[in-house]
Structure 1
């Protein structure tokens, strides 16, 4: 299915959700709603499509996510309007889709999503040849740095010492041309949800004033599942402001 056809399908599906609207029974106060099941499915599919085609930082994704909150007619109509705008611009050639280009943030997310698969594959080599064994955060940094070179040319290590005395120096990676900093962490005993969250909040504050950083990507490698609610922690840390975009990816998926 072509991209424009997929958008049209989602638009028609949204109209189907609108058609499920039923007035409130007599003496029932409140906004009348549409079918909640149909609404949830349509909203999820639409957000997935917009993120896949344009990334989660695109205006279309953000507008849909912010405005389409409840199964009310106004909210659904707004979502349909966003999809219609997407279709119009795709058909006119004014915007590119994922088939034409992938955003740098999406490329980095793909690396995060597949990182654990790469580490597993490296453990199994022909005739038990030597390999990199991911034991600590430095190993994660080295492998991730190598994977970044598949898509980016100007990668600059940024070494800095955290403000808390006694903590080791850490290396982040600045993608100079893309104005993106990639920060990498690995969970361990004593470094779980609370500690990771506190450190990332401190780092987010620091990078808000970085002269070459418009977006901060935080990759947290959690192979042992020490973070109990990874999606919740991601949601708490992610932000999109004029000063800084923050995207957090805790992997592998639990």
Structure 2
């Protein structure tokens, strides 16, 4: 059946005219495209690029994802996850995706790079540890400070993985926040690319503004909001493609570690 093919993400598949007729009947009374495109392959089959199937496919790709990229955590009905997927080397940005049990709610760019690679040492200012955390949003925390921007901070405390070890070791103060960008000194703007921190997750100021609003809305609805940071040991562009998110054109590979944030 066409529904099965849609659910299996095969929006480009061997779909017969009978399948198309079934789809037309299924979507009877609903808005649908007037035409389908057909591509003859041989005398026994026709491949259809059906617009309805494509739309349903894209919903699954960008809206229906209710789990972390590595599939280790799935959101329950009352849960929301902030999933930070970062290159293992931390020399480039990676996607930050917010999702609940229904799918993706928000996505943006993030950088989880510290002044060194030691993720577990207290006061060590290393990269953001991987693992699951609890979260608390402070809308006014360090507002106006060059390194933190004007939209507060989402504080993180580890419950699994490296992040739990770091928390148990006394490493505190790790958060999601915005602030100034590379090349713009004390100015709080998004003109430059994301700069490293002392181990926090940096996002652009415009993104933090929207993320803070979303967090507050979800919290008021009684949602439990977790953060989960994971390394991706591959080409981070693959992850961007998965979430239908464009790579930040300002992002460039960082090789030299900085002691400023």
With the length of structure 2 as denominator, give the TM-score of the two structures.
Answer: 0.31
With the length of structure 1 as denominator, give the TM-score of the two structures.
Answer: 0.32
Which structure shows the bigger proportion of residues in strand conformation?
Answer: 2
